[in-house]
Chains A and B, each alone.
Chain A
Amino acid sequence: LAKTTQPISMDSYEGQEVNITCSHNNIATNDYITWYQQFPSQGPRFIIQGYKTKVTNEVASLFIPADRKSSTLSLPRVSLSDTAVYYCLVGDMGSGAGSYQLTFGKGTKLSVIP
C-alpha cells in the first residue's frame, strides 16, 4: 500500500488560494489519487480524483507531477465554509489486481480565518 504524508494543519485567510501537498513516494502504477473533505461529525465527501497531470472540477484542482510521487490539492479563494480536514488517498480499485484496502491517514486540518 502506498503511504501518504500530509501536513497536519494549515491556516489561510478568506479569499486566498490554498495548496495542500501530499507525498506518496511508493505509489503504484495502477494507483489513483483521491482527495476527500470532512467536516466535524460527518463522513468524508469526495472532492477530486486524478491519475496524472492536472484535473479540475467546480470545487478544486489537482496537480500531479510526472513522477506521481506527490500531488497538490488546490482550493481557489477559500471561504470560512472550507474549514475542514482534507484527506489524500492513494489506491487502486477495480483493476482486479490491486489492493482494496483504503488508508485515509490523519489528514490536513485547514482553518480558514476571516
Chain B
Amino acid sequence: EAQVTQNPRYLITVTGKKLTVTCSQNMNHEYMSWYRQDPGLGLRQIYYSMNVEVTDKGDVPEGYKVSRKEKRNFPLILESPSPNQTSLYFCASSSLADFTDTQYFGPGTRLTVL
C-alpha cells in the first residue's frame, strides 16, 4: 500500500530538548516536504527536497533542519524547540514526473513544546 508514515504521532517535550520527527514514503517519490499547520494560518511549508541531498527552504524554515540522505526518508529536526513550534506537522511526498504535483500526506504529528 502506498503511504507516507510519520513518527511519532504525538509528542510532548520541553524547550530546548532536541527532537526528530521521522517521515518515510514507499512510493519512490523524488519530492518530499514538511508543513506545519496552525489555527488561522493554514498550511505552511517548512522545507522541501527534490531528491537525495537536495533540500530547500519553504515559507517558514527558521528553527528547523532537514536531511535527505535516502530517497525514502526525510526527517525533520528541531535542534532547540521553543513553544512557538507547538503545531501539527505534516510530511508529504510526490512524483516530479509529468507536471503532476499531487502530494501524498502523512497522518500528522502533533507536537507540544512546554
Q: How far is the CB of B27 from chain A (nearest CB, A)?
A: 14
Q: Please give, as numbers and ranges, the residues of chain B lying within 8 Å of A83 by CB-CB distance.
A: none
Binding stretch for chain B, among A20-28, A59-67, A95-103:
A95-103
Residue contact A93 to B94, C-beta cutoff 8 Å? yes
Residue contact A102 to B33, C-beta cutoff 8 Å? yes
Give how many A residues have a beta carbon under 8 Å from the other chain's beta carbons: 28
Residue contact B43 to A104, C-beta cutoff 8 Å? yes
Residue contact A101 to B107, C-beta cutoff 8 Å? no
Contact of B43 among A45, A87, A100 (CB under 8 A): A87
Residue contact A94 to B97, C-beta cutoff 8 Å? yes
- Check if A34 is an interface residue, CB within 8 A of chain B: yes
- A94-B97, A101-B48, A101-B58 as given contacts; A46 in contact with B103, CB under 8 Å: yes
Interface residues of chain B, those whose CB is within 8 Å of chain A, are 31, 33, 35, 40-45, 48, 50, 56, 58-59, 88, 90, 92, 94, 96-103, 105-108, 110
